[in-house]
Amino acid sequence: MPIPWHHTITTQPRIAGFLDRLASAPPRSLLLEGGTVEERLALGLFWAARLMCPEAKPPCGECRICLQLADDACRDLFLLNGAEGSISIDTIREVRAVLGDPPAGRGPRVVILAEAQALGDGAANALLKSLEEPRPGNVFVLLAPSREILLPTLVSRSFVLTLGWPRSAQDDPDLRDWTVALGEFIQSGKGAWLEWTGRKGNVDARLADAILREVQRSLVQAGYGNPLTDLARLLAARLDVVAVRQVGVVVENALESLEVGANPAVVLEWTAMRMWNLLHK
């Protein structure tokens, strides 16, 4: 059986190394943002295995606990996957009902909320109560594209680590041109953006995905207060905390639209118009 985190710890060695060191004093709540959906989930499982594996150099990937985690069959792992649908308040209440019991094994109980942006407000507030009043032996892991699309109160109670992003506009001149055009459009409503998106065959799903993930990267930089790109500096200067979160939701919805086969050019135009509205409301 392949261990789901093996490939990711080679593509995200910085985060894997940090998690390994962090395991000596694990935070009650860990937030992993950035990267891809698959990388976030793999590192969430790696973190669970690092905390639960009984071997001398955890996670070994071969013991009963590691194999159970890989197969989502471990009694001390709760994996709530928002990629499969919304995470309801009833589901959170079911998890909270067992948090007072001791874990079944030697390690902690780990609750992973994959794509935690799928938490409804009621579910998020129910989860917040568990983070505010943590029971011993329980560790939470929130996985999300960026912190801006989560409730700030959840973020403030979590230790945040940012995964490396798949691409960077700084390393790709074509992608940089697109993000510059997006910045011009959301400021003035003019520029090359609509011309480029309206040109037949000029945008495919791969390019649209890369542009949207560059916006996510810029949002993370703005959230850190360390904007490194023109787009990140624009977002940091023009948007308040609520608006930044709203942009994060817009981008996440756009990525979901791409995944189900929506027209990439239309998705980019819609995203830019929503961002323009948020800058000028």
Give per-residue pLDDT as tens, 115-150.
998 888 889 888 988 888 888 899 999 999 888 788
Q: Do 136 and 237 reside in the same domain of the chain?
A: no
Give per-residue pLDDT as tens, 236-272.
898 887 788 888 889 988 998 998 999 999 999 999 9
Q: Which of 113, 137, 163 is the last residue in one of the domains?
A: 163
Q: Do 214 and 148 reside in the same domain of the chain?
A: no
Altogether, the residues listed in the chain come to a count of 281
Give per-residue pLDDT as tens, 165-216.
665 555 678 888 999 999 999 999 999 999 999 998 899 999 999 999 889 8
pLDDT of residue 155: 92
* Domain span including residue 240: 169-280
Neighbours of 102 (CB within 10 A): 12
Q: Which of 122, 147, 163 is the last residue in one of the domains?
A: 163
Neighbours of 129 (CB within 10 A): 10
Q: What is the DSSP string of 244-273?
A: HHHHHHHHHHHHHHHHTT--HHHHHHHHHH
Rg (the chain; Cα; Å): 20
Report pTM: 0.75
Q: Do 187 and 110 reside in the same domain of the chain?
A: no
Longest dimension (CA), the chain: 60
3-state helix, strand and coil shares in percent for the chain, rounded to the nearest 5: 60, 10, 30
pLDDT of residue 221: 80
pLDDT of residue 168: 57
Q: Do 59 and 153 reside in the same domain of the chain?
A: yes
- Would you state the structure tokens that stand for residue 15, as one six-digit string? 């985060």
Q: Do 267 and 243 reside in the same domain of the chain?
A: yes
Q: Do 133 and 201 reside in the same domain of the chain?
A: no
Task: Domain count for the chain, please give it.
Answer: 2
Give per-residue pLDDT as tens, 59-116.
999 999 999 999 999 999 999 998 888 889 999 999 999 998 999 988 999 999 999 9
